[in-house]
Amino acid sequence: MTSRSVDEHAEIVRQLLARALAPVGEGVLVPDALGRVLAADVHAPIDLPVFRNSQMDGYAVASASLREVPVSLPVTAIVAAGDAGPDRLEAGTAIKIMTGAPVPLGADCVVPVEDTDAGNDRVHIRVARRPGEFVRDRGSDVTSGTLLLAAGAELTARHLAMLAAVGLAEVPVLRRPRFAVIATGAELMPAGTALAPGQIFESNSVALAASVRANGGDAVLVDHSTDVPDRFRELLHRAVEGADVVITSGGVSMGDFEVVREVLTPLGGWFGHVAMQPGGPQGLTTVQGVPVLSFPGNPVSTLISFEVFARAELRRCAGLPPQPADYAPLTAPVESPSGKRQFLRGRRVAGGVTLESGPGSHLVAALARADVLLDIPEDVTTMQAGDDVRVWEL
Ligand code: AMP
Ligand code: MG
């Protein structure tokens, strides 16, 4: 059986994924663009506010009419939001105006209704106002042609509000890379069913699909297969039709019913051992031009394989920033076998990072409690409290 280091295998996978996941732009409707990454700069097509308008329910007047207050002025119009309103205010008069309605030429301030008797024919104004008070000028927020958002921005609700406000119906975004996920195993049953003896609930397809989505991809096919080669083959062929990348779980090690390995080896797949724990048995095949990454079936091994071999390249192609990796001090000593790079589950605590439960690759609840991976190099067998360990953010 061939063997590779983590870095060797990761580099081979990275090159395959980079080719399969070249960034492609597409237009999406603004209301559907939450979380998407802009493929191009977006400039304002109009000014905001679109026209000079009132910030208050009140009276649009010339501040010159309020030199002596209280004062009584004739009301010449009542203008609601959505009305065009008169073009011009006659000197010595007032227009009753609602929030968001256009402020006509000749008016330079708005007196809030609270400072008046709220009259409709004449208005009694008690408080003077300075020019510009409670008037929102055209273009005071954004002027037409300004850069609103640069390519690469990850769109939030606030960004969408701005894009909608300037009247954009559609924005250019990066297409989300399309992944298919196929879990394999005769023992697997979907959640919500009853388990017969020997069966377990299927969790890897759920975990992998969620990981794909959390890192900017779409899971276009998520299914599971028995260990019968024809069933796996059928799913595989559907998967490569619609996906940029296929991930399988299970069926890659040295047992008797290793369906993934059995089906993919004759198609030219590489199946071997990567010097890591968990996640040692790995496979990599190209089927009809589509990379098929085959991860081992233990739930922790599958998810760590995704972290180590797929996540960074998916994020890059989706236009998302790389996941942070740094060094942190261990709060307790750690043992590690030599010759294998260890990815231990850890948690950030006061003063550094600590181990989260044991090394077993079936410990899904411990993985759920972890928030980091501790990356212990192949040649390191013990680390002391206080030693800096490389940390991958989960
Ligand atoms: P395998 O890699 O197929 O030999 O599976 C290794 C271990 O992981 C076995 O205990 C399987 O039952 C378990 N396993 C494999 N696939 C899944 C899955 N999709 N969900 C949960 N457990 C799994
Ligand atoms: Mg299996």
- pLDDT tens-digit map of 63-119: 999 999 999 999 999 999 999 999 999 999 999 999 999 999 999 999 999 999 999
What is the CATH code for 326-393?
2.40.340.10
Q: Are the folds of 2-24+176-318 and 53-136 the same?
A: no
Atom of ligand 1 nearest to the CA of 281: 2
Q: Is the distance from the beta carbon of residue 262 to the nearest atom of ligand 1 less than 6 Å? A: no
Mean pLDDT of 9-29: 96
CATH class label, 25-48+140-174: alpha beta
- Model confidence at 361, pLDDT cuts 50, 70, 90, reads confident
Query: For residue 95, what pLDDT is reported?
Result: 98
**C-alpha closest to that of 178 among 296, 309, 24, 34:** 24
Beta strands 71-79 and 94-97 are parallel
Give the span between the Cα atoms of 316 and 122, in whole angstroms.
65
Using a pLDDT cut of 70, give the percent of the chain over it. 100
**C-alpha closest to that of 171 among 46, 41, 317, 47:** 41
Q: Is the distance from the beta carbon of residue 305 to the nearest atom of ligand 1 less than 6 Å? A: no
Does 326 score more than 80 pLDDT? yes
Distance 351 CA to ligand 2 centre (A): 40
Q: Is the distance from the beta carbon of residue 310 to the nearest atom of ligand 1 less than 6 Å? A: no
Mean pLDDT of 170-197: 97
Other CB atoms within a 10 A radius of the CB of residue 56 amount to 20
Question: In Å, what is the CA distance from 90 to each residue of 77, 95, 276, 349?
Answer: 11, 9, 82, 70
H-assigned helices in the chain: 6-20, 157-165, 204-214, 229-242, 259-264, 299-305, 311-318, 364-369
Length of the chain in terms of residues written: 394
What is the architecture, at CATH level 2, of domain 53-136? Beta Complex (2.170)
Q: Is the distance from the beta carbon of residue 352 to the nearest atom of ligand 1 less than 6 Å? A: no
259's tokens: 């369906």
Distance 235 CA to ligand 2 centre (A): 16
- Model confidence at 348, pLDDT cuts 50, 70, 90, reads very high
Q: Is the distance from the beta carbon of residue 251 to the nearest atom of ligand 1 less than 6 Å? A: yes
By the 8 A CB rule, do 244 and 286 touch?
Answer: no
* φ/ψ of residue 354, rounded to 5: -130, 155
- Model confidence at 357, pLDDT cuts 50, 70, 90, reads confident
Q: Which ligand lies nearest to the CA atom of residue 228 in the structure?
A: 2
Distance 200 CA to ligand 1 centre (A): 9
Mean pLDDT of 151-163: 98
Q: Is the distance from the beta carbon of residue 216 to the nearest atom of ligand 1 less than 6 Å? A: no
Query: For residue 366, what pLDDT is reported?
Result: 92
What is the CATH code for 2-24+176-318?
3.40.980.10
Give the span between the Cα atoms of 312 and 320, in whole angstroms.
9
Query: For residue 332, what pLDDT is reported?
Result: 95
Domain boundaries, the chain: 2-24+176-318, 25-48+140-174, 53-136, 326-393
Under DSSP, is residue 203 helix (H, G, I), strand (E, B) or coil?
Answer: coil
Does 1 score more than 80 pLDDT? no
Query: For residue 29, what pLDDT is reported?
Result: 98
